[in-house]
Amino acid sequence: MIKILPVELIQFASWSAFASAIATVLGLVALVMFFSFGQPWGTVNDISSVVLALSLMPILLVLHQLHRPYAPFITFAAFVIGVLALLTAVVFQSLLIARIIAFAQTAVVVPVAFGLFGASLIIYNGLAYSNELFPHGLAVLGMVAGAGYIVVIAGFILGGQQHPLSSIGGLTAVVCYPIWAIWFGRLLLARKLLG
């Protein structure tokens, strides 16, 4: 429960939520600029992805701690899968930024990694909805954002980044996730989750 979580962890996770919202929006802007003007916007997008993945990890830790009393096994599994996926994204994107690997080597791995994070987001928000731990609107928004990340994977599997599902899923995630993150971060700061 939030009352037993260390204050420092709650504050760090709330600021991480705000940072992840900014990184998501900046990543979208950089991606649009890259397709319009080329470099260095592709690199800015890659750096935003690293910042996003790193800032999501404290959020997953708090989500795990909040839900552990209600569903210990599934919350632990969602935490491990989410963190391992995000670490994978950080490694691959960092290698891309350092020009050790090419984009083709990250083109499927990184979207799949963020899709696995999306699955964790769905699990945590689904539990929050059913256990009434979050406002219902926040939980639904989190599930929709998570679904957007997963739909991106489907698009990549069916036809790569040009597939319509990749665009639909990506747009859903980049619209819904920042709103969820800011709302979640504010509730954490105000200590309004779980009383």
The pLDDT tens digits of the residues spanning 149-166 come to: 999 988 888 887 788 998
Contact in structure between 83 and 58 (CB atoms under 8 Å): no
Q: Which of 88, 97, 101 is nearest to 45 (CA)?
A: 97
Distances (CA, A) of 19 to 74, 106, 114, 152, 178: 27, 23, 16, 22, 9
Rounded mean pLDDT, 99-121: 91
- Least confident residue range of 103-107, 141-145, 186-190: 103-107
Q: Which of 119, 122, 92, 97 is nearest to 108 (CA)?
A: 92
The residues, any chain, with a CB within 8 Å of residue 108's CB and separated by 6 or more, are 156
Please give the share of the chain, as a percent, with pLDDT higher than 90.
68
- Provide the pLDDT for residue 193: 67
- Provide the pLDDT for residue 41: 87
pLDDT band at 1, cuts 50/70/90?
Answer: very low
Please give the share of the chain, as a percent, with pLDDT higher than 70.
96
Distance CA 189, CA 96 (A): 35
**HSE on the CB side for 40, CA within 13 Å?**
4
- Residue showing tokens 């790569």: 160
On the 0-12 / 13-18 / 19+ scale of CB atoms within 10 A, 70 is: middle
pLDDT band at 108, cuts 50/70/90?
Answer: confident
